[in-house]
Structure 1
Amino acid sequence: MAQAAGLLEQDQFSCSICLDLLKDPVAIPCGHSFCMGCIKGYWDQNDHTRVYSCPQCKETFTPRPVLNKNTMLAEVVEKLKKTGLQSAPPAHYYAGPGDVACDICTGRKRKAIKSCLVCLASYCETHLKLHDVLNPGKRHKLIDAFGNLQEKICSHHDKLLEIYCRTDQQCICYLCTMDEHKGHDTVSATAERTEKQKQLGATQSEFQQRIQEREKELQDLRQAVQSLKHSAQTAVEDSERIFTELIHSIERRRSEVKELIRDQEKAVVSRAEGLLERLEQEITELRRRDAELEQLSYTEDHIHFLQSWQSLCAPPGTGDLPSITVSPHMSFEAVRKSVSDLNERLEDVCKVELVKISESVKEVHTVEPRTREDFLQYSCELTLDPNTANKHLRLSEGNREKQLGVIQSKFQQRIQEGEKELQDLRQAVQSLKRSAQAAVEDSERIFTELICSIERRRSEVKKMIRDQEKAEVSRAEGLLERLEQEIAELRRRNAELEQLSHTDDHIHFLQSCQSLCAPPGPGYLPSITVSPHVSFEPVRKSVAELKERLEDVCKGELLKMSESVKEGHTLEPRTREDFLQYSCQFTLDPNTANELLRLSEGNREGTAGGLILT
């Protein structure tokens, strides 16, 4: 009783009229208790109406009820006075949402701890003590506090459910066994509880194992999401770095192409300017000699004429230039086209999985040599001696005077040709400079467009990674949410099973067991296997391969371009000496040589029809 007193509130044993502890407590027909003096005084005020009511519930009574002291309640109050009362219980003693409230408490109700299947009422700890005091010796069936006690009563016979029908798998009363459940397999609720208790333990183990499996899947999935995010971030950073390096490489290639064009231009212009200078010198020399020949043609001094003839009529020396033919296609159009081709090919690599380069760089042609005219520069005028000339030759008289006019005409023709070559070469140099400038500007523009295209590819790759990351993370987060909900539901059901396993209410146990032990429904997720290789590594690898292939394309194209430029500016042999540098010694085999060839000693010289082959 002392332990119970520690949990009681003073207002539970207070009179609602005087608000003090009950004195000579009496209970009126509605069940409320008051001090005998207080309720008498309250009703005395209503004697003239002959209608008496309860101060709390307002229930009316006619005639005036007879009041008798409740000696048992008076003893409880006296004992509580001796042990002392607590001013107010802690807040957790009061019933909250989801709790079963005490049916006896007035005002703010406290939590019920037991329910009586006989009284069909739930009691807090205080009123449970009073229930035991007021029902001494009576065997009332007490169970854990239960909200809806009406579920314990048979809806057909209004009797307590005490039997379990295995045929229909439901709780029934004893009258049901003689009615609609007659002949069914029935056992007592206690016996069925014992059997179901074993199944409950197995079900609990399954639920706990299921919870552990789901928690492992949840952990793996969370780690996979983090790994995916980390991998996506790394892939974005790597692709940014790789594309930036690629752009820097393209910028270096742009500078190399520009330098190549300028070096080309400088070399060609320098060579052309050297030719221009020598052409101008030759034309000046030809004009001087032509003027002297013109003057010599009018002299009457035969001795002076003959003395000057030999030197003035001599052909141009070996230091003079051969005839020059200027290429009509002397430009950097091939370089410009090669840069444009490079751009297209790099674009193709990005678009269609790296197409190999198929075209080569066109050569830049500058000065082209003639054939017959180049050799005519080595021709010379000669005067034959009548005493030593062949007898079949007929020499004219005064042949030297006649030849003077012919030589003058050749000099004048050569001057005109030189001036024409000089003009063509100057125009070619200007055209070459314009072409070089246009090639530089075009290559700058094309490389800039290429860099912009690569920057777009970089943005596309980044967007692709982020979109893929977003889709995968969204899908994983959906699974995470459903997993968390399922785990929470499994834990709730497992907790209810644990609580159910300790209940003393066999009927509640049997009624709840079937639903709680049911396997997960179709809404639950199947088992989830998380891939151990969730990453964007293939994307990073493909971007790196793209960079390598683009680099290879650039290097190959620039190498071809450089070689083509060098080949285009190599001086071709013009004189015999130029050709002889490519000569080589060889020995003919008498067994395999042509039968018309006559070989000399050492087999190094062959004669065929009078033509000596060396």
Structure 2
Amino acid sequence: MAAADLRDELTCSICLSIYTDPVSLPCGHNFCQGCIRRLLCTQEGSRGYSCPECRQKFQKRHVLHRNRTLGNIAERFRPTETEPGETGIFCTYCVLSPVPAAKSCLLCEASLCETHLRVHSKSPEHVLTQPTDSFMGRKCSVHNELLKYFCCEDSVCVCVSCYMVGEHRGHRVELLNETSEKKKEKLRKVLEKLSPVREETEREAQRLQERRREVAEKAAGETERVTALFRDIREQLEALEKRLLSDISRQKKKLSLPLTNLIQQLEIKKDNLSKRIRNIEELCNMADPLTVLQERESHGAADNEGGRERHDIKVPAVGDLDVDLISETLLTGLAAIVTGVKEWRIYGQEATDLLLDINTAGDYVSVSGDRKSASFSLTDQYHPQSPERFEVSQVLSTRSFPSGRHSWDLEVSDSVDWMVGVAYPSIERKGGDQAYIGHNTKSWCLRRWCDNYSVRHDRKEPYLAHIPSCRRIRISLDYEAGRLSFYELSEPIRHLHTFTATFTEPLHAAFWVGKDDDKWVRIIS
């Protein structure tokens, strides 16, 4: 009994075998290192990890620490386990040395090796099975007889006495083999149904793994691109800073040089004036009149000297830094950087030349003079008849996008019935519903209806979770990648939806306006 209890303590709850290289989780439970590693790998990508024993959750994958004491005990206990191919059940009659059992007799409740099996009774009462040490599970708990039948009414295995004289008397019974075969047949049918489901699940898991790898690769590429962009921006800003500081230093030097020369001249004049002032002060302090008069003669008319020399040096108007030039240099440099960013940006090249094709506009669509906006008109516009013209209030752009990455921004009316998107030139122009963008396989669009956004393609219209909050929309097209994205230009920009498709024709920008005079869409980029 003590050995059995010890075996339970040394058994991994995952593989149900004696521990091999046991490790511990933070919760204290132990597992084979290989078993728990495989289990934790299956939990990657979920919202955390959990112990298979107590279900305690961990936010991150902890380092697995080896339980050396438990490992040493398991190593000493492991030799008592059976070798591969053995059952661990020994012959009941080989008492001198254990010999593996070949069969077990349910009647005798004994296990027999090959030698004792040859001399064992061959009568039908002695039912032989694979080696087992659990005989009570094969006998009736009431009559202590072998279970031979299956009671179809109570769905239990019964012995002969149960069927003949016991509580199952008169019930419909079958031999265990017959019932077992019927159950196996049902299980095979279940297996036939489950196998394709498992295969499809496996394929779906592989597709999701592939998609996850694609997302990771694209994220890595975008990270590298953004890093390179900001590195380039920083280099351009540093160069612009050096240029501006150099211009300021050059202007400072140009203005300071003449000022320095004037200051030197004024300093010389100031020194001369100081000397003359001291001489005059000395004369004023003399008591001898003769000396004062004689000294005056040597100096000349001193009282007029200062007046004549006051304007000898003219100080010109001092210039100032050309701040306008500095500002213009700064703004020009920043504008060049911003232009470079716009050309690089993830939305692609901005379609600044996007115009509406009046030859495609429906009769009740009014196109503005600059061909940038379309609105619904309550009166027929009497556009000239054209094979390209829509019967519905819809219009395409003149420009098409056969390749590359592009984006354009739109402003939409407050009225909540409009659709914007893209369409092939082969889209139906007549034919009612088939002409609407999103109602066929040749067009994709974003629609606003009431306080909801929805997206349309091939007549499918799932609603989006985003609540409209802005009248500006950006459409981004990556033709080769087969991606068409819609953004709301709010603060911050919100991604609404991305279609993925394999484009087979050039794409035109497409616009539909609802049947009301305040429905309009305008291209603003």
Pair in the same fold by TM > 0.5: no
Q: Which has the higher helix share?
A: 1
Give TM-score scaled by structure 2 length. Answer: 0.32
Q: Which has the higher strand share?
A: 2
Higher relative contact order (CA 8 A, sep 6+): 1
Give TM-score scaled by structure 1 length. Answer: 0.28
